């Protein structure tokens, strides 16, 4: 009897332990990382040194808006803001060679008519260098030989073409130095001489032309369409007599060459059998290439200059992340080194090149440092026709045993599709991967054919394959995830922006049985109207789109594009779809989302449409990002069953509107009404404008 009692007690203890362990597991599984941590502003990013090494700069928020901060190199924490943006934030800037000016670019509400600004870091006086409405400005050249002047490309004369101006960064005075005769772009040297011009050819390639003594243009070299995305002149050496080129002609992967400009002889400096050149490390004054990076599944540096071998060896020993050298002083005494991790924030170090000693500065987001972040796993998936698709997946913590690369049981999964499509997914910290994994989803990103970095054959395998073999690659990757026990085949969502948005719409229409839901962000629905409405300054490169996407200028081409357009197959949509769009998008116009939403409504197919009146091609304002991801999270929870953080105050300060379908998202109508009441308490002109928009939206919902 005593033995039976002991056994019963042991069984009870064992059961309690199991229940406790399961409760702890479930608790860990549902402990949510706040969206504001994952998608809000970072603490500091884009760290740079002034050319003379006396100052350090970075982007950091001021009243929740990213601005440029500057401080002494010996005391970075005493930095103060030198810009005063109060709207979208600054994302791209650099030091001028005066060491007293920061140059940055900014647009309005996402329309990409960039303006260039100069700010004196001593006086905080900001100068608009391109005060022109409806004009797209580009930085053409910066040189230490002319510290107070930069070259700027402006399409102020002809919208399709950019002329070259010389601009004084203090006074704003500009002088036209090259009137564009029809070129896609130019290449200049440190003397501000125009050395070459790019001309697109009818086959989708380009010619590099050089001026002669009679001010005429002569052919220097020709790049066929097959090499146009993997061949590019990079810059000149110190003498100006040699040019560095990333070149895939007569080979598959793009290698680094040095080209003699007098006799056109070239020598190869670095190559890799599986990956293109990804990054170069130049000496700041000698203009020699000191190291080359290749990126297959991870970034790997190859040293060309033995003088920095010890430096890179030492830097690699400091941390286990991928090494990025993001800034160097002209005398090469100081470097800013960034370490990229998959499960933690970026770490910034100040490196004393002379002493070969690195000093830790800060991370880009301190709130991430102690969070339970997941690892990102590189893998190679074989497509049905034998291509190697370099991919990355992330699993929720506690969904698998330590060291195991597969979950205990198949999980709901989100397929994240990158934009471009001429870009690629990489390894490292990814806020979307971390967010979705934390909510209980497996996450998969696939470098489908047409992605860059894997050789020209891989890119060209995607020509005219939008919605064709490019989509097949995604489906093959999904099948791999099911076969490997990662994904539950009944709970797979697809999500992406730009081309990724198109891929989402293609997934919901071409293969509707595969995906339980889709999230399309600024994705084209009609390839004909997409190509007809590209920004005018993209016109010089139209042959690139015609040869690689389809030619909307011919009857056969238009028919082909219609067949590859998700809009054509709206009636096939059978599962929930969420669409996000910026009203000022110059690349994928609002009409691309409007027309598919309208078609779905006419066919009485449910859709939720989120529209931002102050955004363009993507959502730049943190308030808008937070609001959109709050909607996405609720949407995915409803479709796939993952965890869901309540919207809370994540709509605060956002311009979010929902013209249709709010009723399909949990709590969305209530949160929009709360936002309307909040706006009613703040009657500024800007708020009144948004209030009018939201009232219109609510009328549409009623």
Give the pLDDT confidence of 135-158 residue by residue, as tens digits: 999 999 999 999 999 999 999 999
Whether 353 is a known active-site residue: answer no
pLDDT at site 575: 98
pLDDT at site 253: 98
pLDDT more than 90, % of the chain: 90
What pLDDT digit, counting tens, does each position of 281-323 carry?
999 999 999 999 999 999 999 999 999 999 999 999 999 899 9
In contact, 174 and 129? CB cutoff 8 Å: yes
Q: Is the pLDDT of residue 701 over 50?
A: no
Q: What is the largest CA-CA distance in the chain?
A: 111
Using alpha carbons only, give the angle 695, 700, 702 rounded to the nearest 5 degrees.
95
Average pLDDT of the residues in 695-699:
40
| Distance, CA of 363 to CA of 546 (rounded, Å) | 44
Q: Say which residues have a Cβ less than 8 Å from residue 585's Cβ, sequence separation at least 6.
A: 110, 522, 615, 616, 617
List phi, psi (to 5°) of 638: -65, -35
In contact, 524 and 545? CB cutoff 8 Å: no
* Per-residue pLDDT band at 677 (split at 50, 70, 90): confident
For residue 440, give the nearest of 644, 178, 263 by alpha carbon. Answer: 644
According to the 3-state scheme, what is the secondary structure of 498-542?
CHHHHHHHHHHHHCCCCCCEEEEECCCCCHHHHHHCCCHHHHHHH
In contact, 145 and 190? CB cutoff 8 Å: yes
Angle between helices 499-510 and 469-483 (to 10 degrees): 70
pLDDT at site 146: 98
In contact, 160 and 540? CB cutoff 8 Å: yes
Among residues 472, 476, 585, 650, which one is catalytic? 585
DSSP string spanning 655-694?
--EEEE-GGGSTTHHHHHHHHHHHHHT---HHHHHHHHHH
| Distance, CA of 254 to CA of 227 (rounded, Å) | 9
SS3 call for 637: helix
What pLDDT digit, counting tens, does each position of 160-197 carry?
999 999 999 999 999 999 999 999 999 999 999 999 99
Average pLDDT of the residues in 471-475:
98
In contact, 493 and 636? CB cutoff 8 Å: yes
Query: To which H or E segment does residue 629 belong?
Result: helix 622-640
pLDDT more than 70, % of the chain: 92
* Per-residue pLDDT band at 198 (split at 50, 70, 90): very high
Count CB atoms within 10 A of the CB of residue 215: 6
User: CB-based burial of residue 414 (10 Å sphere; 0-12 exposed, 13-18 middle, 19+ buried)?
Assistant: buried
Tokens for 648, please give them: 């809370």
In contact, 650 and 627? CB cutoff 8 Å: yes
Among residues 391, 498, 627, 637, which one is catalytic? 498
What pLDDT digit, counting tens, does each position of 505-522 carry?
999 999 999 999 999 999
Q: 64-73, 211-220, 301-310: lowest mean pLDDT where? A: 211-220
Pairing of strands 376-382, 388-394: antiparallel
Whether 300 is a known active-site residue: answer no
Q: 271-275, 309-313, 526-530, 680-684: lowest mean pLDDT where? A: 680-684
Average pLDDT of the residues in 97-102:
98
pLDDT at site 641: 96
* Per-residue pLDDT band at 402 (split at 50, 70, 90): confident
CA-CA distances (angstroms) from residue 13 to 5, 16, 20, 326, 680? 12, 5, 10, 57, 58
User: CB-based burial of residue 222 (10 Å sphere; 0-12 exposed, 13-18 middle, 19+ buried)?
Assistant: middle
What pLDDT digit, counting tens, does each position of 422-441 carry?
999 999 999 999 999 999 99
Tokens for 321, please give them: 């992340």
pLDDT at site 31: 85
SS3 call for 32: coil
Average pLDDT of the residues in 592-607:
97
Average pLDDT of the residues in 212-234:
94
* Per-residue pLDDT band at 675 (split at 50, 70, 90): confident
Among residues 247, 525, 617, 637, which one is catalytic? 617
List phi, psi (to 5°) of 686: -65, -45
User: CB-based burial of residue 327 (10 Å sphere; 0-12 exposed, 13-18 middle, 19+ buried)?
Assistant: buried
**Residue carrying the six token digits 């001489």:** 193
Radius of gyration of the chain measured on its C-alpha atoms:
27
pLDDT at site 682: 62
Q: Is the pLDDT of residue 215 over 90?
A: no
| Distance, CA of 477 to CA of 57 (rounded, Å) | 42
Higher pLDDT: 702 or 48? It is 48
Q: Which residues of 368-407 are buried (b: 16+ CB within 10 A; e: fewer)?
A: beebebbebeebebebeeebebbbbbbbbbbbbeeeeeeb
pLDDT at site 681: 61
Query: To which H or E segment does residue 494 belong?
Result: strand 487-497
3-state percent helix, strand, coil for the chain, nearest multiple of 5: 30, 30, 40
Average pLDDT of the residues in 581-593:
97
* Per-residue pLDDT band at 469 (split at 50, 70, 90): very high
What pLDDT digit, counting tens, does each position of 646-664 carry?
999 999 999 999 999 999 9
Residue 100 is classified by DSSP as S
What's the chain's average pLDDT? Answer: 92
pTM: 0.92
Terminal-to-terminal C-alpha distance of the chain: 71
Average pLDDT of the residues in 532-549:
95
């Amino acid at each position: 009897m005593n033995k039976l009692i002991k056994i019963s007690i042991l069984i009870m203890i064992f059961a309690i332990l199991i229940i406790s362990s399961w409760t702890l597991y479930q608790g860990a599984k549902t402990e949510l990382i706040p969206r504001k941590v994952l998608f809000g502003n970072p603490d500091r990013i884009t760290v740079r040194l002034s050319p003379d090494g006396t100052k350090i700069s970075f982007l950091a928020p001021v009243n929740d808006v990213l601005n440029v901060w500057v401080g002494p190199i010996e005391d970075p924490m005493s930095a103060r803001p030198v810009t005063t943006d109060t709207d979208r934030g600054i994302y791209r800037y650099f030091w001028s060679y005066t060491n007293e000016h920061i140059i940055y670019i900014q647009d309005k509400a996402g329309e990409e008519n960039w303006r260039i600004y100069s700010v004196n870091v001593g006086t905080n006086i900001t100068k608009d260098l391109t005060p022109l409405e409806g004009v797209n400005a580009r930085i053409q050249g910066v040189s230490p030989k002319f510290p107070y002047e930069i070259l700027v490309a402006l399409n102020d004369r002809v919208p399709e073409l950019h002329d070259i101006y010389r601009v004084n960064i203090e006074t704003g005075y500009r002088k036209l130095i090259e009137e564009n005769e029809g070129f896609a772009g130019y290449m200049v040297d440190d003397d501000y001489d125009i050395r070459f011009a790019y001309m697109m050819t009818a086959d989708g390639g380009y010619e590099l032309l050089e001026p002669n003594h009679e001010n005429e243009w002569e052919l220097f070299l020709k790049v066929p369409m097959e090499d146009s995305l993997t061949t590019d002149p990079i810059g000149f050496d110190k003498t100006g007599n040699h040019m560095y080129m990333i070149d895939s002609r007569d080979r598959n992967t793009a290698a680094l060459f040095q080209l003699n400009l007098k006799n056109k002889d070239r020598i190869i400096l670095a190559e890799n059998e599986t990956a293109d050149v990804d990054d170069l490390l130049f000496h700041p004054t000698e203009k020699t290439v000191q190291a080359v990076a290749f990126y297959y599944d991870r970034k790997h540096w190859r040293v060309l200059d033995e003088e920095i071998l010890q430096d890179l060896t030492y830097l690699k020993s400091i941390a286990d992340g991928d090494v990025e050298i993001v800034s160097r002083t002209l005398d090469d005494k100081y470097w800013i080194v960034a370490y990229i991790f998959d499960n933690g924030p970026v770490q910034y170090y100040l490196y004393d090149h002379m002493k070969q000693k690195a000093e830790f500065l800060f991370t880009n987001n301190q709130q991430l440092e102690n969070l339970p972040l997941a690892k990102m796993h590189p893998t190679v998936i074989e497509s049905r026709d034998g291509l190697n698709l370099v991919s990355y997946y992330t699993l929720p913590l506690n969904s698998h045993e330590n060291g195991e690369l597969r979950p205990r049981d198949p999980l709901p999964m989100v397929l994240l599709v990158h934009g471009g499509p001429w870009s690629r997914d990489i390894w490292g910290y990814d806020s979307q991967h971390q967010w979705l994994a934390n909510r209980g989803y497996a996450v998969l990103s696939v470098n489908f054919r047409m992605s860059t970095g894997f050789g020209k054959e891989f890119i060209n395998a995607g020509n005219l394959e939008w919605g064709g073999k490019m989509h097949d690659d995604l489906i093959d990757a999904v099948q791999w995830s099911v076969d490997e026990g990662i994904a539950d085949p009944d709970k797979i969502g697809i999500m992406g922006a730009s081309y990724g948005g198109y891929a989402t719409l293609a997934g919901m229409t071409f293969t509707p049985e595969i995906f339980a839901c889709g999230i399309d962000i600024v994705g084209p629905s009609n390839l004909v109207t997409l190509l007809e409405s590209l920004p005018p300054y993209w016109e010089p490169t139209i042959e690139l789109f015609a040869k690689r996407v389809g030619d909307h200028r011919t009857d056969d081409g238009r028919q082909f594009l219609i067949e590859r357009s998700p809009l054509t197959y709206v009636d096939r949509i059978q599962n929930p779809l969420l669409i996000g769009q910026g009203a000022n998008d110059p690349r994928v116009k609002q009409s691309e989302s409007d027309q598919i939403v309208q078609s779905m409504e006419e066919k009485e197919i449910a859709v939720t449409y989120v529209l931002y009146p102050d955004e363009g091609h993507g959502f730049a304002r943190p308030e808008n990002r937070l609001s959109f991801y709050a909607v996405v999270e609720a949407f995915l929870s409803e479709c796939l069953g993952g965890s869901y953080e309540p919207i809370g105050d994540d709509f605060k300060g956002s311009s979010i509107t929902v013209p249709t379908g709010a009723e399909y998202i949990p709590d969305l109508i209530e949160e929009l009404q709360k936002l309307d009441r909040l706006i009613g308490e703040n009657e500024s002109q800007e708020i009144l404008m948004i209030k009018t928009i939201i009232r219109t939206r609510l009328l549409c919902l009623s």
